[in-house]
Amino acid sequence: MRRLTLLFAILLSLGLVVSSLAGCIESAETANVLVDDLGRPVRFEEPAQTIVSLGPSITEILFALDLGDRVVGVTDYCDYPEEAQSITKVGAPFPGFSTETILDLEPDLVLSLAGSVVQQLENAEANVVVLHPTNIYGIYRDIELVGHLTGKEKEAVALLDSMKKRVEDIVAKTSTATAKPSVFYEVDGSWNENKPWTAGYGTFQDSLINLAGGASIAAGRSGWYEMSVEEILDADPDILILEDYQFGVTPESVAGRSAWARLPAVTRGSIYPIEDPNLTSRPGPRIVEGLEMLARMIHPELFGE
């Protein structure tokens, strides 16, 4: 139940943002106003020197831009890079952030995911910028925005050039495939193997599967949801990918599920565990590594495997 509760907390902080988000950003940027991912104008007069990060992906962006020495607070879940683990912890979406700890750190910039903490901090007159990308291109934009806010524009350009080149190379390779294998992506089936959580349309996982040359069988619905084993059997996916390997779900345990035994993907052994799910779920610089990992699972023949 702890994992399920945590999953809902993540969905609330990562996935449930206003539906008009894209329109707000487009409207503001047309007027040449620098805005965050909620379409709100961003205020800054000089590069931020003391920063609190309220998201593991945000922390990874900051360190990738060589801003680790300016980060004074991070979430309980910020575990990469290793240096982030020694920075003052300010809580997590569940059970909640400590606004008192955040304010005591006197940051001149708080970078946050969506959630009630944004309004709480703004009520206390903190400078909060929301980073909530919905796809890989949104990650690019957020890295550029952080570069502007911190005076690290050159570093942001260099990081983006590197990321874009890697993504382009992967997509160029997977686009040569003669077919798109169908994929079932299991987010968590450890508590109910016959109704596992999966990633539907609009999630990072679905976007990455498409870029990697696959087609998710869960794309008919949006967001994260429970998919019945009957639906999975009817869809007959070519490949099974296990993000819940972190919870002890293995290719062997999936093959041992009685209702799954007749899936051709199971009998072929086309079951792939994700050893580090942060690569496919955190909207930060390492998302490119997640994309390449999925591409190798979906199209091993294109990577000499």
Whole-angstrom distance between the N-terminal and C-terminal Cα of the chain? 38
How sure is the predictor about 134, in pLDDT bands with cuts at 50, 70 and 90? confident
E-strand spans in the chain? Answer: 51-54, 71-73, 91-92, 96-97, 109-112, 128-130, 182-188, 197-199, 215-216, 224-226, 239-242, 271-273
C-alpha–C-alpha distance, residues 102 and 18, integer Å: 25
Q: Which residue has the higher pLDDT, 24 or 96?
A: 96
In a domain, 163, yes or no: no
Average pLDDT over residues 76-85: 96
User: Where a domain ends, among 123, 155, 187?
Assistant: 155
Q: Which domain holds residue 194?
A: 177-303
Q: Is pLDDT at 17 greater than 50 in this prediction?
A: no
User: Do 109 and 9 belong to one domain?
Assistant: yes
pLDDT at 44: 82
> What's the confidence (pLDDT) of residue 5?
38
Instruction: Based on the fold, state whether residues 272 and 188 are members of the same structural domain.
Output: yes
Q: What is the mean pLDDT of residues 151-166?
A: 98
Same domain? For 267 and 128 the reply is no
Q: Residues 93, 55: contact at Cβ < 8 Å?
A: no
Q: How confident is the model at residue 93 (pLDDT cuts 50, 70, 90)?
A: confident
Taking CA 8 as the corner, what is the angle to CA 72 and CA 220, rounded to the nearest 5 degrees? 120
Mean pLDDT to the nearest integer, 9-18: 41
pLDDT at 110: 97
**Is residue 146 located within the same domain as residue 12?**
yes
CATH of the domain at 37: 3.40.50.1980
Q: What is the dihedral of CA 194, 199, 200, 203, to 10 degrees?
A: 170
Instruction: Answer whether residue 171 is part of any domain.
Output: no
Whether residue 168 is contained in a domain is answered as: no
Instruction: Give the Cα separation of 58 and 74 in Å (integer).
Output: 9
Q: Is the pLDDT score of 60 beyond 90?
A: yes
Do residues 283 and 204 make contact, with C-beta atoms less than 8 angstroms apart?
A: yes
Number of domains in the chain: 2
Tell me, yes or no, whether 10 and 141 share the same domain: yes
Q: What is the mean pLDDT of residues 273-295?
A: 96
Among residues 155, 187, 214, which one ends one of the domains? 155
The answer on 149 and 37 residing in a single domain is: yes
* Alpha carbon distances (Å) from 12 to 5, 6, 8, 16, 131: 11, 10, 6, 5, 14
